[in-house]
Amino acid sequence: MLGGNHEEHEKLERAAADWAGAESALLFANGFGANAALLATLPQRGDLILADELIHASAHDGLRLARCEAQLIAHNDPDRAETRLRQWRMRGGSGRPWIAVESLYSMDGDRAPLGHFLEVAERHDAILLIDEAHATGVFGDRGLGLAEGMDGHANVIVLRTCGKAMGCEGALVFLSTTFREFLINRARPFIFSTAPSPLIAVAIAEAIVALVDEPWRRKQLLALVDFASDRLGRFGVMRTGSQILPLIIGDDERTMAVAGSLQARGFDVRGIRPPTVPTGTSRLRISVTLNVDEEAINALAGALEDALA
């Protein structure tokens, strides 16, 4: 607000809005701050927020700071969201509803029914907040993720992080000019955070160019995802259609032991256990990237077979 803004930040925001077909974009220092800022700042007293129960921890922190009623809804259940909205209106709710979801969830690798959620939002004049952290750069003709084509819709705000597939840091929020100005003047995680370096803004702009000009990267990645799903499926690894391939083991100690065995053989596969995931669902989260090839996936299959024996 005082001295952190730079021409490169605004240049990036204009280019990003053009990339997405959105009215405007706003750069945050990180995805956590962006998620928290959206939910803590935009919904007002008298509104209602419905958030998917498996949404990011940063969104949960935003809900705690929100000035209105917030409820968690069953995972990937737009019909349940609509029921809650109707019940809220029948109780006298007169504000604006907000629905917060991720497009691709990081622990199961499953996708939200975004089209169905948008239909619900349109029927109830709600704003659909879509967190594209795990889909940006992986899906979409222009690398915009699973919400590609929804930017610019009056009922949609999209968050895309720059620190995963884009290889940088920070987060871009795509929204109307009115909401953008409100965040600039009211969102504490934006106002009181150190601004990203202008160098980061330039790097993100170059990453956007690569996403648009080099679609072969997405095609190659998704081909590796298919190969890994075929090769690892016999061990119980879930076929998700995304780069996130979980293997639910259940027991915490065995999960971490298997993860440790794989890491000792050079594979960066992490064990995930409660409270990050529900009790009894500890798992390995295998993430496929362009840093590996079919030979490496075959080697992982061999190591996994030994570790599970």
What is the rounded CA–CA span in Å between residue 219 and residue 236?
25
- Average pLDDT over the chain reads 96
The phi and psi torsions of 62 (rounded to 5 degrees) equal -65, -40
Q: What is the mean pLDDT of residues 9-27?
A: 98
Q: What is the mean pLDDT of residues 206-226?
A: 97
In a domain, 131, yes or no: yes
Same domain, 203 and 55: yes
Same domain, 259 and 272: yes
The phi and psi torsions of 277 (rounded to 5 degrees) equal -125, 160
pLDDT tens figures, 274-283 = 999 999 999 9
| Residues 137/109, Cβ–Cβ less than 8 Å | no
Q: Domain tally for the chain?
A: 2
pLDDT the model gives residue 37: 96
Using pLDDT thresholds of 50, 70 and 90, give the confidence band for residue 1. confident
pLDDT the model gives residue 110: 96
Among the three residues 213, 231, 258, which one is the final residue of a domain in this structure?
213
In a domain, 171, yes or no: yes
Count the alpha carbons within 13 Å of 277 in the hemisphere toward its beta carbon.
22
Same domain, 209 and 239: no
Would you give the distance in Å from CA 77 to the centre of its chain?
A: 17
Q: What is the mean pLDDT of residues 195-218?
A: 97
pLDDT tens figures, 243-277 = 999 999 999 999 999 999 999 999 999 999 999 99
Residues 6+ apart with CB under 8 A from 60: 51
pLDDT the model gives residue 257: 97
Q: What percent of the chain has pLDDT over 70?
A: 100
Among the three residues 196, 213, 230, which one is the final residue of a domain in this structure?
213
| Single-letter amino acid code for the residue at 109 | G
Q: What is the mean pLDDT of residues 137-151?
A: 97
Same domain, 152 and 248: no
Same domain, 194 and 261: no
Same domain, 167 and 248: no
Among the three residues 150, 178, 213, which one is the final residue of a domain in this structure?
213
What is the rounded CA–CA span in Å between residue 31 and residue 125?
26
Same domain, 276 and 186: no
Using pLDDT thresholds of 50, 70 and 90, give the confidence band for residue 3. confident
| Residues 48/238, Cβ–Cβ less than 8 Å | no
Which residues form the domain of 252? 216-308
Same domain, 185 and 131: yes
Same domain, 120 and 248: no
In a domain, 151, yes or no: yes
CATH of the domain at 106: 3.40.640.10
> C-alpha distances in angstroms, 184 versus 7, 19, 26, 188, 240?
16, 21, 8, 9, 37
The angle formed by the CA atoms of residues 155, 145 and 73, to the nearest 5 degrees, is: 55
pLDDT the model gives residue 87: 97
> C-alpha distances in angstroms, 192 versus 38, 41, 79, 128, 244?
15, 14, 38, 26, 34
Using pLDDT thresholds of 50, 70 and 90, give the confidence band for residue 2. confident
pLDDT the model gives residue 15: 98
Same domain, 94 and 227: no
pLDDT the model gives residue 106: 93
In a domain, 1, yes or no: no
| Residues 205/10, Cβ–Cβ less than 8 Å | no
In a domain, 257, yes or no: yes
pLDDT the model gives residue 103: 98
In a domain, 250, yes or no: yes
In a domain, 105, yes or no: yes
In a domain, 298, yes or no: yes
pLDDT the model gives residue 24: 98
Using pLDDT thresholds of 50, 70 and 90, give the confidence band for residue 4. confident
CATH of the domain at 289: 3.90.1150.10
What is the rounded CA–CA span in Å between residue 99 and residue 79?
12
| Residues 63/70, Cβ–Cβ less than 8 Å | yes
pLDDT the model gives residue 79: 97
Same domain, 41 and 101: yes
Q: Is the pLDDT of residue 143 over 90?
A: yes
What is the rounded CA–CA span in Å between residue 283 and residue 234?
16
Q: What is the mean pLDDT of residues 112-117?
A: 98
Same domain, 208 and 285: no
Q: What is the mean pLDDT of residues 219-241?
A: 97
In this structure, the chain runs to a length of 309
